[in-house]
Structure 1
Amino acid sequence: MTNYPAAAWVLLGAVTLLVLVLPFVPCWNEWRRPTDLAALVIARDEVNNVRYFADAFRKHVNEACAGAGPVMDTTVRILRASTPAEAFPWSAAQRAVMVDGSLHVSGTLACPSPVYAGGDAVLPSGAHLPALLCTGNAALGPETRISEWAHADGILSLGAGGVVLHRLTAGVALMLDKGSGFCRIHAPVIHFGISEDACATPLARPPGPPPPPDLSALTPCGPKRYRAKGDVLLPAGRYLEGTLLAGGTIRLAEDALVYGSVKAHRHVRLQRGAQVHGALVCGGDIEIGPDCWVGGPIVCEGDVRLASGSRIGTKAIPTTLAAARVLAETGAVAHGTVWARKAGVVTA
């Protein structure tokens, strides 16, 4: 009986030590005998190369066809261009479908597998498929739905009400009709709205009169860097050479010009004809008015609205627009990449 208290303390210490050590046993086993040596799976939205899946699918089709003869293999089914597309069992295709020429479907099209066209591709209204790759031009009819990605080496047009949930890319140009939805798109030229006319490249205007007196209230924070704690207004027709930082909202009136970058903690408003030759960074929403131009990248935590006639980047120097939502009016033009993290819509 006299040893009972000592035994109890020993037992309590052993149990406590066991409770403390047990959580580290899996760590010890993993360190001694690693079981997770494979590379981590990267989500499709996180791959930096916007054409990654199109290039991988192209390589897969070429390798499969080269190694399995002229007809088919276990992963690719070939549709001869001489065979009517309407006669092909699209809905029952369990393998990737390769068309050895141009694809023109006039009836309904609902395919559960990716489609490769060795030429142009014309899809009907209401087509449904996970992915599309064509070596020519692609015309996706109204209400087309692509659940993963689509790419054309030439010009790709998406009809009214069409939706591509992930990546939409083209080697020459993209044309998105009104009501179409997108997430991440890339092309040398992106037309929001079906149009054959491209906006003229904006020319750098000569420096105007000196900045108005109220800009002297800005606090210099480096060579050609100006900062304000609150809102900033650059009056119509004036220009600022340098980087403009504001803790509030920045508004560029009509034909105002910034030879540098703009960064606002809240919102940015560009009225008709305003230009920013550098980057545009904003913690709120950005409104880019008619006939405006931004030459550098646009990074926005909120929504970006592109008015008709606005232009992002140039064909010679493409750029990137990234925002939570992108609302682009018909007639807006972008060069490079547009990434809407939540949703992108072409409005009338």
Structure 2
Amino acid sequence: MTRAPLASYPALRLRRLRQADWIRRLVRETVLTPADLIWSMVIHEGEGQVPVGSMPGIARLSVKEAAAAARQAKALGIPAIAVFPHIDGAKKDAQGTVALDPDGLVARAVKAMKDAAPEVGIMCDVALDPFTEHGHDGIVQSGRIDNDATVEQLVAQGLMQARAGCDILAPSDMMDGRCGALRQALETEGLQDVMIMSYAAKYASAFYGPYREAIGSGTLGTGSIENPADKKTYQMDPANSDEALREVALDIAEGADMIMVKPGLPYLDIVRRVVEAFALPTFAFQVSGEYAMLIAAAQNGWLDEERAILESLGAFKRAGAAGVITYFAPRAARMLGA
């Protein structure tokens, strides 16, 4: 078949808008900036940094270093930091009691970071898994996670964090009713300005493994009464999409100010559905397994590391996310500011 000359086609050539960097930047639909990033950070007792083996380039930070990191976030234009604790195993018990300690690691870190950089928002994880010897997000009773007993403990934990200066409470436990209980407690205590970013659609994912190492979480999988085999009875089934909308709707009705989808890249369809359905600030968590995969591939020479980092973060914005919680935040902010 003889192809018609180009002159016979309409004069639309989309490549005209790709021919140079300046025009690509001018017509770009999605723009990623440091203001779109929340820095995911693990803290620990003691001094110095402790590298996380499964997350090359990531280390647990001391309270002193966390304060310095808050100043660094301000300088880089990163608006907020999400704090996750590594707790000494000797301090853990079945109820996660140390999660309530007003003089504990989390409270001291929050205070130090807010003193160092009050302009930087601090988000605290409201969940018991860093503090329980069994590694679950709740209190185990007769082989089941006791939803209501757990919510009571979470409310006490969240109030402690808020009193320490935390700006955003982020319940990641996936217990029913916890957003409403937290919101009611905050209002009662005169802490009504504290925000809630709910892990509304948090899936029982395989991508959390490196994080469990990072926080020194208890080992799941025995299947005993004291230690159920997995978190599938409270985290969402990865096969479900409509259920995510129901979870989000409930948390909004209970007083959540913002919504999170976790993990990130494997669940961009959920991000898009939530944004379109609710028009509420929706965030995605680029979790530890996503970080580890990108770094491992880059270290093997299979990916251009910097391009892959920014492309993956841009995907969240393209899906409609208001921002991304990510371990790449300081590095990405430097690249974006270059």
TM value normalised by structure 1: 0.25
- Pick the structure with greater CA Rg: 1
TM value normalised by structure 2: 0.25
More strand by share: 1
More helix by share: 2
